Amino acid sequence: MEILLVEDSESDALLISKTFSRTQMKFNLTVIKDGVEAVSFLHKEGQYDQTPRPDIIFLDLHLPKKNGLGVLAEIKSEPNLRNIPVIILTSSNSQKDVQECYQNNANCYLTKPTSKEDFCHTVKIIEDFWLNIAKLPLN
């Protein structure tokens, strides 16, 4: 399982990584910190020319260089990327953001909890559903 996490918060990325590491499932987690780099990764440009295609993407909305909504729109407009499930995991609870993400074909929109315990619990639920229960498309 190849997981792409697009997240500029080091503490959030670390919590997600630690929570995923407790699973018995074999996976490779790649963390990208800005939207421009995420697009380069997905298009296999430059240093990413040999990277595997992700099976699932966790995407923050508030990213430097290119915001998450722009990254989402680009993913879902590309025929070879659009079937990758994109889970929005963000601090925004704005109804406008929720609406725009689903209009751009996000597969799920989740607001990050504020407490560490709730955050870890949410990541565990995400992991259980998206990595263990849901059927993902084959690369």
CA distance 137 to 10: 29
DSSP 139: -
- Nearest-5° angle of CA 18, CA 2, CA 115? 30
Q: Is the dihedral of CA 95, 100, 102, 106 positive or negative?
A: negative
- CATH 3.40.50.1820 given to domain 2-133: no
The pLDDT, as a whole number, for residue 139 is 66
DSSP letters of 51-74? PPPPSEEEE-SS-SSS-HHHHHHH
* Across 94-105, average pLDDT: 95
Q: Which of 22, 24, 26, 37 is nearest to 3 (CA)?
A: 26
CB 19 within 8 A of CB 123: yes
Would you list the domain boundaries of the chain?
Answer: 2-133
pLDDT tens per residue across span 41-88 = 999 998 999 999 999 999 999 999 999 999 999 999 999 999 999 999
More reliable by pLDDT, 4 or 130: 4
- Which pTM was predicted? 0.89
